Amino acid sequence: MKNTEIFSVDEAMLRHIVSKALCDGGDWCDLYFEDSSYFDLLLRDGEVSSGGHHIDYGCGIRVLKGEKTGYAYAESTDINALTDAAAAAAAIASSGNGRRLDFGRQTPSRKAPAEGFYPSMLEWSDCPVSQFVPFLKKIDSEIRRREPRTCKVIAVLSYCISNILMYNSLGELTSDRRPIGSISVQAIFTRNGESCTNNVSRSLRCGAEMICDDVLEDLVGRAISGLDAQFDARRPKGGKMPVVMGAGASGILLHEAMGHAFEADFIRKGQSVFTGRLGQRVCPKGINIVDDGTIAKNRGACNFDDEGVPGQKTYMVTDGILTSFLHDRISAAYFGVEPTGNGRRESFRYNPIPRMRATYMESGSDGSLEDLVASVRKGIYVDQFSNGQVKIGEGDFTFYVKSGRLIENGRLTSPVKDINIIGNGPEALADIRGVASDLRIDESTWTCGKEQSVPVSCGIPSILVGSLTVGGE
């Protein structure tokens, strides 16, 4: 079924709604129709005894007057509901003129690939929910079989299919069908009266073929790995020291501490510490930092962003030089550049804003993780972070380290946990001393929470930062 049929609309009706929305003098209007169907199954105490299905349907209408936004939505797509929402969004045009922007030249030169970035060999909708129950039960039984110290296992399998239709005042009509599947596992283990928890997950934009033995093996293996180190881990003595970050999940620090500061709404408003630094060196030569919507199956992949701009790969830092920010249509018009496909939103209930997709640093040429560790006399190695926070204006960040090890005389020694690393984004970028050649994109269920929740992913090769503050005993 075509998406225009799903939403019971045609182009004449869409044109009519847009004209209503612009009747008060708006410069731009776009419509975002969404029909999302979300399923979940939960395993607890060895049984899949809870599940659900959730439907979200509606249309968001945005009107822009210069940089200013009017937004409203309807949970129905009948003409009356849409006309009412259009009138509410149109009101922004009467709130003053402000700076005038030209949205008329925003047809992106880049085209979406015919194949798309969400390859699906097996449609979720062709599979009964019951088909996934054995998969969850096997996760539970395998964790318990392989690790006798297992105390509790909770596993959640969820998937969502979103049918999207976008239309704008340039007359561009865009459709997308977005699948996403996620499995998360929380396992609790006990040893001599002590407990520890491992949380692992995997999330992909593809079909139900992801429910397979390889994914199961990956989740189970990670859920039970490193337990002895976790039990033995202690808080180290704190202070300023070199920090080696492991490949993969450490990329969340790149996302939080640097990526957000590259989002062009913060630049446009003068709030980011990188405001005015385009074209300047922000880190050593040889370092490339990318935000990429074109990695097939990746949680951050976008055939189109939520403004109808085709998915693309954006180099934010090229050979150490800040070369691009991440733009939605507003910031692109403001700075006179093409949108970079970063205009994203949580659902039709939200207006799009610049958001990351898959953010990572490309591999470097400073050898391996072992080489980086060998260059440190006294420092710390971290490989799992949780709950990072950054202050955009200042660039200051704090990240909670879930696991890692001390580095003593060039070797990994005692395991550490429950510490924080604090620093400043621009200073940390400038202080990168080594980048290994082992880039890994992490496929866990990362969700970015800047005003709204959107799926993202992150990655990084192993890197060495010269000095960060480690908070310990």
> By CB under 8 A, what part of segment 408-437 binds another protein?
417-420, 422
- Binding segment for another protein among 61-69, 296-304, 338-346, 376-384 (CB under 8 A)? 61-69
| Proportion of the chain in helix, strand, coil states, percent, rounded to 5 | 25, 40, 35
Does residue 28 bind another protein (CB under 8 A)?
Answer: no
- Binding segment for another protein among 48-56, 173-181, 311-319, 357-365 (CB under 8 A)? 48-56
Among 280, 387, 413, 447, interactor with another protein by CB under 8 A: 387
Does residue 8 bind another protein (CB under 8 A)?
Answer: no
User: Which of 96, 449 has the CB closer to another protein?
Assistant: 96
Site string for another protein, 273-302 (x = CB under 8 A): x-----------------------------
CA dihedral 268, 274, 276, 282 (to 10 degrees): -150
- Binding segment for another protein among 147-155, 173-181, 202-210, 319-327 (CB under 8 A)? 147-155
CA dihedral 190, 192, 195, 196 (to 10 degrees): -80
User: Which of 214, 473 has the CB closer to another protein?
Assistant: 473
- Binding segment for another protein among 287-295, 372-380, 392-400, 407-415 (CB under 8 A)? 392-400
DSSP lists the bridge partners of residue 185 as 155, 200
Does residue 2 bind another protein (CB under 8 A)?
Answer: no
Q: Angle formed by the axes of helices 79-90 and 11-21, to 10°?
A: 30
Does residue 472 bind another protein (CB under 8 A)?
Answer: yes
Angstrom distance (rounded) from CA 278 to CA 265? 14
Give the H/E segment covering residue 144: helix 133-146
User: Which of 11, 75 has the CB closer to another protein?
Assistant: 75
Residue type, 20: K
Distances (CA, A) of 466 to 191, 422, 437: 36, 13, 18
Among 15, 54, 145, 377, interactor with another protein by CB under 8 A: 54
Beta strand 353-354 with 378-390 is unpaired
User: Which of 107, 280 has the CB closer to another protein?
Assistant: 280
- Joined together, the tokens standing for residue 272 give 């980011």
Angstrom distance (rounded) from CA 281 to CA 140? 49
User: Which of 322, 419 has the CB closer to another protein?
Assistant: 419
Give the H/E segment covering residue 339: none
| Cβ atoms 112, 311 nearer than 8 A | yes
Angstrom distance (rounded) from CA 392 to CA 261? 6
Among 11, 15, 25, 98, interactor with another protein by CB under 8 A: 98
User: Which of 292, 307 has the CB closer to another protein?
Assistant: 307
Does residue 133 bind another protein (CB under 8 A)?
Answer: yes
Angstrom distance (rounded) from CA 358 to CA 458? 5
Angstrom distance (rounded) from CA 211 to CA 218? 12
∠ CA 191-196-201, nearest 5°, is 135
Does residue 196 bind another protein (CB under 8 A)?
Answer: yes
User: Which of 2, 53 has the CB closer to another protein?
Assistant: 53
* Minimum separation from the CB atom of position 73 to another protein (A): 7
Does residue 128 bind another protein (CB under 8 A)?
Answer: yes
* Minimum separation from the CB atom of position 123 to another protein (A): 17
Residues between 175 and 194 with contacts to another protein, criterion CB under 8 A: 186, 188, 190
List Cβ neighbours of 447 (8 Å cut-off, separation of 6 or more): 453, 454, 455, 456
Residues between 302 and 331 with contacts to another protein, criterion CB under 8 A: none
* Minimum separation from the CB atom of position 264 to another protein (A): 14
